[in-house]
């Protein structure tokens, strides 16, 4: 078993959405969803920074031209390097006004075709009321692709781009889809977690065909090999491991976010020394840089 070490001491209420950025992928970004913040740290200099937003924020993704794409509740928005914000198509454009339940964005990633895939959840995890959407690579159009989701979470693609992996956390499953252009078909359940493992949350793929999955509630990140068997376990000294991403010039450092709480009333709270901090380790695999959004 590999042990993750504290990389950043700042405690997030609900740390999530790690991403690599910068010329050598030396800068790690992440969000504090309920703390309404975007945070970053530089591997080379150890400099840190953060900025606040007005709403809960589900994800941050680097933009190719500088700045970030951020998933606030009413977003997504393009954020320029000077802090200026530009609205993109959102759920209202797709589903119409008047959501039945409070909904926010959660995990998101840019696909090999350059499109942004982004999912939602309701404040109370209402079964079947969330969805997975796709925003075209030029930022012009958003579509709902998968409905009847409860908690849209981790996603990534195989190295050849022909398979997409996806987690709907409350189903305890990791699924695959065949990719045809920008479309997905042929959904299959590839792994079903035992509740003792915790809830499968965020994930990222490595260059060796494996998936690194953060398991909420067990303080672990587990690697699934190409046969979807657990081949490695990382121990994280915080109960609520939430997601992970490869960073660094060699992309051999796994950055892991954690939380103190889900932010939902009545849910468990981790008051441990390291809860909500951000961790790193070298897992013996290399991954891919976070894909940036072209606009």
Q: Which residues are catalytic?
A: 201
Separation CA 239–CA 291 (nearest Å): 28
Report helix, strand and coil shares of the chain as percent, to nearest 5: 5, 55, 45
**Number of other residues whose CB lies within 10 A of the CB of residue 181:** 7
d(CA 70, CA 218): 28
Q: Give φ, ψ of 271 to 5 degrees.
A: -100, 20
Cβ neighbors of 84 (< 8 A, separation 6 or more) are none
The pairing of beta strand 2-3 with beta strand 230-235: parallel
- Cβ-Cβ contacts under 8 Å for 252 (sequence gap 6 or more): 246, 282, 283, 285, 286, 287
Task: Dump strand ranges (E) for 217-275.
Answer: 220-224, 230-235, 240-247, 253-259
For 170-184, give the DSSP string. GGTEEEEEEEETTEE
């Amino acid at each position: 078993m590999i042990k993750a070490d504290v990389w950043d001491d700042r405690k997030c209420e609900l740390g999530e959405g790690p991403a690599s950025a910068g010329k050598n992928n030396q800068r790690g970004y992440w969000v504090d969803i309920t703390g309404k913040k975007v945070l970053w740290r530089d591997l080379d200099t150890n400099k840190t920074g953060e900025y606040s937003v007005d709403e809960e924020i589900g994800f941050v993704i680097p933009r190719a031209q500088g700045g970030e794409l951020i998933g606030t509740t009413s977003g997504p928005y393009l954020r320029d390097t000077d802090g200026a914000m530009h609205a993109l198509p959102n759920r209202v454009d797709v589903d119409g006004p008047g959501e039945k339940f409070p909904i926010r964005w959660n995990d998101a990633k840019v696909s090999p075709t350059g499109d942004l895939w982004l999912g939602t959840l309701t404040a109370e995890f209402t079964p079947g009321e969330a969805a997975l959407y796709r925003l075209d690579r030029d930022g012009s159009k958003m579509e709902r692709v998968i409905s009847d989701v409860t908690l849209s979470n981790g996603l990534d693609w195989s190295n050849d781009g022909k398979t997409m992996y996806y987690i709907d956390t409350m189903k305890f499953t990791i699924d695959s889809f065949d990719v045809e252009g920008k479309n997905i078909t042929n959904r299959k359940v590839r792994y079903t977690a035992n509740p003792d493992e915790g809830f499968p949350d965020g994930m990222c793929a490595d260059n060796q065909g494996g998936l690194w999955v953060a398991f909420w509630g067990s303080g672990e990140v587990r690697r699934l090999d190409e046969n979807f068997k657990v081949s490695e376990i990382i121990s994280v000294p915080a109960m609520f491991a939430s997601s992970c991403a490869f960073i660094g010039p060699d992309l051999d450092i796994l950055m892991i976010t954690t939380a103190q709480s889900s932010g939902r009333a009545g849910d468990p709270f981790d008051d441990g020394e390291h809860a909500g901090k951000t961790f790193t380790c070298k897992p013996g695999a290399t991954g891919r840089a976070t894909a940036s959004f072209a606009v």
